Chain A
Amino acid sequence: MSAPIVLDPHGYEFPADQKRYIRWTIYIGYVALVAGVFHGLAQALSYARIDILGYFPGLRGYYQGLTAHGVANVLIFTFAFSNGFLPLVTARALSEPLVPGLVRAVFWTLLVGNLLVIYAVVSNQASVLFTAYAPLQAHWTFYLGLVLVVVSTWLALVNQLIPYRRWRRANPGARVPLLAFIAIVTYVMWFLASLPIATSFLGFLLPWSLGLVPRTDPLYTRTLFWFTGHAVVYAWLLPAYVSWYAMIPRQVGGKLISDSYTRIVFLLFLLLSIPTGFHHQYTDPGVPIGMKALHGVLTFGLFLPSLATAFSVMASLEIGGRARGGRGLFGWIRTLPWGDPSVTAQLLAMLAFILGGITGLVNASFTMNQVIHNTTWVPGHFHLTVGTAVALTFMGVAYWLIPYLTGRALFSRGLALASSWIYAIGVFVFARGMISGGIAGLPRRTFLAQAAYSSPDWELAGALTGVGGTIMFIGVMLFFVVIGLTIIGGRPGAGPRDIPVAETITAPAAHGWERGLDRLGWWVAATVVLIAIAYGPFFVSYAPRLVSPGFRLF
């Protein structure tokens, strides 16, 4: 039997009420990011041995600010964006409406979760950093608030799955539109990945923080954290990939080269993102070396779908550049639409991701990890990945998404372009500083401006970190100016009518094995088996030892 292909090429209008809630869900992330980047500036300058915390509005403690920076930037900003973006593109690709009650529930759950976390952090009862390693103990509102943030992502997933089921019933046997498929796979992966952290917070840390259980197990809860903790970076990255694969080709006038290839890449991320967490625990005691090695090998496997992405995305860019008159080996790069801030931001994000990927390979490299673990090499790496590849892509998407949701034209293309370039230049200086500092043994997560020790090898690295961080801060502030003025002062009625959806050169196959790619249930089952192989031996051989009382040392 052949599978018909259904894709509605016509514009799909979201009800105004849903657009409003989706918009406000994303705004929660922007508000968090404003607070987060102020503290980012203070930390970058601390590495240059300049302490501005004394002049700071709001939080005064370095580690209090570092907690706010991590939680706001990587947990709130990212998931607020994805909670709006992924259901939106799923509904558009399927031309099926979202469930209005769920759109609202996502917003309110995320908001209440945020308020709880803000209370805990601002009152200095939760300076445990976003990793929240026990036995440092935060106020219970911190754990409960973060659980609610996770619950909001589950509600967003349900709001993808309900339209998806409706669509399946209306189109039996049809291939799932690519954009909907990859958006759904992203949050399905994240749902599986989020279960360990939910278990850790609800089963261990929340009752321990409330005094219901007196002691907890630092190794067990830490392992549950990293069970989620590597996959979470792919939960941040894959929404950016959704844009790079399924939207950017349209924005540059090109086409995506292969439908099946794209599906396979996302399924590989579903399979491999989760059973790789021990590579964050290479230097931990209590985890047998063989288990670390298995996760190390699987982590290397996880580089393959990213390599495939590099090819696919670059090819679609080349097709676009050549269609716009680019000639010669590299001439197509020049003819890409560099005047479009949405495109430029994402091209710069991709450039950063190349360096982010290479440094990530070192992190994953088993014995070599010992040289750089917990040095500034690591934040150098992840400011290129989540801090740029993801964040700058989300900013680029915002340049069409916010006008689409508000119906107002982007306030200023020039300022938006300047923001992206300044941010990108800043991050390259910053990452150069942090990465070289890490090789020279500069520790991360340390109030260096007041540290009891120093090394002459860290001076240049620290100065570059401070300078680069300041430039990044200016870039992201310009982003807020552009978005803020778009919301209140953009020309009304001039926003885009539809979202950019790319065409593929090779359409989804109607016959044969490739239809199996759409069988999400099978792939989820295979993922669960792989997780059981990778994590089973640890959890079978290690039952929780409730040994540690809580410490509040802040």
Chain B
Amino acid sequence: MKIHTYEKAFVWVGALVLIACAGALTYASLGMGIHLPGRVAEVDPNQVRNTPPFDQPGVREIGPGRYEVVMLGQIWSFLPGEIRVPAGSEVTFTATSADVIHGLFIERTRLNLMLIPGQVSRNTIRFSEPGEHLIICHEYCGIGHHTMAGKVIVE
């Protein structure tokens, strides 16, 4: 098969760009500690309100400058609906849904989790600057979906 020189060059340059992009992502993931959520734990969504830690949603300090937020998504609100943490703290969100699939998205951050009934979602981010962020349910969850929101206040 004869492949035109330009075509060969074009595909090779494209492949190298893709490899460079993949390398940057690998560095972000391994070198900078930006992680995706993975397989964490399971919970019966019908019993979730009586199952630790989701029986007591809220913010806990787990170390100096480190917090854990246990959060429950439900139609059509977040529990807790408002979170206060000091600036510079590292916050781990542990969350699930009590009914349908919800989204847990904190705008202007990379905290972006799907809340799937039966599965526990977890990820960690740092809030560097003081200010307010919306918590938005960004997965359609029924007729009241656009009213489902909360707030993070970084003090």
- Residues on A lying within 8 angstroms of B by beta carbon are 61, 63, 66, 127, 129, 133, 135-136, 217-219, 222, 257-258, 260-261, 281-289, 292-293, 296-297, 300, 303-304, 307-308, 310-312, 315, 361, 365-371, 373-375, 440-441, 443-448, 450-453, 455, 506, 509, 514, 545, 547-549, 551, 553-554
Contacts and interface: CB of A to CB of B under 8 A. Distances in A.
B108 to A, nearest CB: 6
B14 A218 contact: no
B96 to A, nearest CB: 8
A553 B143 contact: yes
A66 to B, nearest CB: 8
B121 interface: yes
B37 A283 contact: yes
A93 to B, nearest CB: 21
A451 B146 contact: yes
B82 interface: no
A303 B18 contact: yes
Nearest to A447: B146
A545 B118 contact: yes
Contacts of B118: 217-219, 286, 545, 547-548
A222 B100 contact: no
Nearest to A552: B142
Contact of B37 (A61, A133, A285, A311): A285
A51 to B, nearest CB: 12
Contacts of A303: 14, 18
A553 B142 contact: yes
A258 B11 CA distance: 15
Interface of B: 1-4, 6-7, 10-11, 14-15, 18, 21-22, 25, 28-29, 34-40, 42, 44-46, 75, 96, 99-101, 103, 105, 107-108, 110-122, 134, 136-149
Contacts of A282: 36
Contacts of A549: 46
Contacts of B110: 367, 370-371
A285 B7 contact: no
Nearest to A297: B22
B116 to A, nearest CB: 5
Contacts of A370: 34, 36, 110-112
B138 A296 contact: no
A304 B10 CA distance: 10
Nearest to A371: B110
Nearest to B75: A553
A503 to B, nearest CB: 16
A287 B38 contact: yes
Nearest to B42: A545
A287 B39 contact: yes
Given A219-B118, A300-B18, A514-B1, A441 B28 contact: no
Contacts of B115: 285
A509 B116 CA distance: 52
A233 to B, nearest CB: 19
25 contacts: A61-B143, A66-B140, A136-B140, A136-B141, A257-B7, A258-B2, A258-B3, A284-B37, A285-B116, A287-B39, A289-B37, A297-B22, A304-B14, A304-B15, A307-B11, A311-B6, A366-B28, A366-B36, A367-B25, A374-B138, A446-B145, A451-B149, A455-B134, A545-B42, A553-B144
Contacts of B42: 286, 545
Nearest to A448: B146
Contacts of B46: 547, 549
A310 to B, nearest CB: 8
A308 B11 contact: yes
A315 B7 contact: yes
B92 to A, nearest CB: 14
Contact of B39 (A61, A135, A286, A440): A286
B40 A285 contact: yes
Given A440-B108, A446-B140, A547-B117, 20 more contacts: A66-B140, A129-B140, A218-B100, A218-B101, A218-B118, A261-B7, A283-B36, A284-B116, A285-B120, A289-B35, A300-B21, A307-B14, A308-B10, A366-B29, A370-B36, A371-B112, A374-B139, A445-B139, A445-B145, A549-B46
Contacts of A284: 37, 114, 116, 119, 121
B38 A288 contact: yes
Contacts of B121: 284-285
Contacts of A61: 143
A453 B78 CA distance: 14
B116 A219 contact: yes
A222 B114 CA distance: 12
A509 B147 contact: no
Q: In this complex, which of A217, A288, A370 has the most chain B Cβ atoms within 10 angstroms of its Cβ?
A: A370
B139 to A, nearest CB: 6
A530 to B, nearest CB: 18
Nearest to B43: A547
Contacts of B147: 451-452
A25 B25 CA distance: 45
B105 A553 contact: no
A287 B113 CA distance: 12
Nearest to A442: B107
B107 A441 contact: yes
A514 B2 CA distance: 11
A317 B38 CA distance: 46
A457 to B, nearest CB: 8
Contacts of B142: 63, 136, 551, 553-554
Given A284-B37, A547-B117, A373 B112 contact: yes
A133 B101 contact: yes
A26 B14 CA distance: 37
A285 B46 CA distance: 18
- Which 10 A-B residue pairings sit nearest by Cβ, starting from the closest? A553-B142, A441-B107, A307-B14, A285-B119, A443-B138, A285-B121, A374-B138, A286-B119, A289-B38, A451-B146
Contacts of A315: 4, 7
Contacts of B144: 553
A548 B44 CA distance: 9
A222 B101 contact: yes
B82 to A, nearest CB: 13
A311 B119 CA distance: 44
Contacts of A374: 103, 105, 112, 138-139
Contacts of A368: 25, 28
Nearest to A517: B1
